[in-house]
Structure 1
């Protein structure tokens, strides 16, 4: 029996998503969402980001030939596929830049989970190669309260429900750049607690880390520890966290047991992690074609330098036009 070569047994992930799949994702995540979520490109791109997660987590699993795409690449394909967004393709660079600028201003909340000795905290590591360690946290949804966002994000990233342990007054808040980050302190969690993320391909490892081993910083979001580990949005919290622990830590009842343990203890680890998204010649060629389209505005992309409340540089966001096209599309289905 002849052996199967690696090229035959392992499918090559280089196929772009077909039009039918893009249309389905557009229908699920954009066309059928509440109209208030279609009032700005910031909200629309958050919807496209959800579609991108679904594509990476589910569509690629069902079709091993599909190529992993960055959010920027996926956004270009969605704009080309969706009739309501197609008139804005010529402005996609500005739209995406403004979206990324907007994202770093969205408030973030989460939790610092401490073990029973108050000597260790729980950190999660991102999925992609070279990812950093951070406290479980995430961006607030529209009209979401800080503590509710923290409960939701911690549950998604660790599988642990902090709702009954959370005290809204026990928090540390810092501002890094233009982003406000609030972390609620959850003390006394047993080290044998079972942790596991509820989301796919977002968290690759969950580990207890000694607080004393984490490098403090002032306003720098990224840092490296003596062990070479990369940390993100951890350093600015270490000094105020130690002060909080000194004031709130109950008397130890473990006879120093926790202090003799190693510097970190892994409590959950994915079987495998996904390499970072790459850019193949096919998608690059497609994006170049999109960028090379005529730059004059078509119907729905109205030039305006002073449209109030919008950050885009050279055109107006016409929500009425987009909503009308979406209604027409849904009616024709």
Structure 2
């Protein structure tokens, strides 16, 4: 399914229907129009808002109405720029706006945690929702005006259901730079090995598991991902 800056998308297909105008209007009102003025001062902030709208659409609208088509974020953004009156004046520039946003996202700082169990022999890894997803430490992009440690606690809670706010020590962290993006991972110790992990967000994390600690040294630091060659030896 292709997207053009000022074009539209076919509203019917064998795989499902595109969202009706009523639903698009509701998403625009909920996620774009009724936000603080400063959140509409840049296209980067606007597309972050549309990203939240896209997650809501996929996790709620599509899940509760199977006749709706699942959309990529790029196609969803195209629909919103073509249907939302506040965004429509800029639809001719959408290709450039989307490209700039993609580049911008790779500069947003990332925070997370390397979580060790109470034996110090295993660390916690999470696997994304898609079958092709890699294993990694729980982590995510900082929100606007969010501190690194606050982001790390939030991301760990969202991805694992584990609250590490009382275990996090501000000075215990490692930091690497990946291109223009800074990644900070806090070292968290003392999490019980029999902890039951339960991701709080829909369709983001499929599995949370403790892995043998020695594998931490096989982390591909440039991407903070576990090499696929080691996956079979993890558990």
Give TM-score scaled by structure 1 length.
0.64
**How many matched pairs?**
221
1:137-187 deviation digits (Å, cap 9, x = unpaired): 111111111101111111111110000001001001111111000011111
Residue of structure 2 aligned with 1:157, choices 151, 156, 159: 159
Residues 31-180 of structure 1 mapped to structure 2, 5 A cutoff: 31-180=33-182
Report if the CA contact (8 A) 1:13-1:64 is conserved: no
Any gaps of 5 or more consecutive residues in structure 1?
A: 1-11, 230-261, 265-333
Provide the secondary structure at the position in 2 that maps to 1:138. Answer: strand
Across the aligned residues of Structure 1 and Structure 2, the Cα RMSD in angstroms comes to: 1.6
Report if the CA contact (8 A) 1:124-1:135 is conserved: yes
Report if the CA contact (8 A) 2:134-2:228 is conserved: no
Report if the CA contact (8 A) 1:174-1:182 is conserved: yes
Displacement, 1:200?
Answer: 0.5
Corresponding residue of 2:31: 29
Rg larger for: 1
Corresponding residue of 1:258: none
Corresponding residue of 1:219: 222
Corresponding residue of 2:4: none
Q: Call closer, same or farther: CA 1:218–1:136 in 2, change over 3 Å.
A: closer
Displacement, 1:221?
Answer: 4.9
2 CA distance for matches of 1:222 and 1:190? 24
Report if the CA contact (8 A) 2:107-2:181 is conserved: yes
Q: Call closer, same or farther: CA 1:50–1:166 in 2, change over 3 Å.
A: same
Report if the CA contact (8 A) 2:136-2:224 is conserved: no
Provide the secondary structure at the position in 2 that maps to 1:204. Answer: strand
2 CA distance for matches of 1:221 and 1:113? 14
Report if the CA contact (8 A) 2:116-2:190 is conserved: yes
2 CA distance for matches of 1:227 and 1:29? 41
Displacement, 1:87?
Answer: 1.4
Give TM-score scaled by structure 2 length.
0.89
Provide the secondary structure at the position in 2 that maps to 1:226. Answer: helix
Corresponding residue of 2:203: 201
Q: Call closer, same or farther: CA 1:125–1:222 in 2, change over 3 Å.
A: closer
Displacement, 1:216?
Answer: 3.6
